Amino acid sequence: MAAFGDGVGEVLLDEAAIRTEVARLGVQISADYAGKSLHLVGVLKGSAVFLADLLRALTIPATVDFISIVPYGQVTASGVVRIRKDLDEPLEGKDVLVVEGICASGLSLSYLLRNFETRRPASLRTCAFVAKRCERPADVTLHYFGREIPDVFVVGYGLDVQEQYRNLPYIARLA
Burial 115-154 (b: 16+ CB within 10 A, else e): bbeeeebeebbbbbbbbbeeebeeebebebbbeebeeeeb
The order of strands in the sheet holding 95-103 is 81-85, 62-71, 38-44, 95-103, 123-132, 144-149
Nearest CB to ligand IMP, comparing residues 53 and 108? 108
Of these partners, Mg ion, ligand IMP, none, which one is at the site of residue 121 (CB under 5 to 8 Å by kind)?
A: none
* 103 touching ligand IMP, by CB under 6 A: yes
Residue 23 CB, nearest approach to ligand IMP (Å): 23
Of the ranges 16-24, 28-36, 51-59, 154-162, which one interacts with ligand IMP (CB under 6 A)?
Answer: 154-162
Residue 105 CB, nearest approach to ligand IMP (Å): 3
Q: By CB under 6 A, name the one of 17, 75, 87, 142 that touches ligand IMP.
A: 75
For residue 114, the tally of other CB atoms under 10 A from its CB is: 11
The footprint of ligand IMP (CB under 6 A) covers 46, 75, 100, 102-108, 153-155, 159
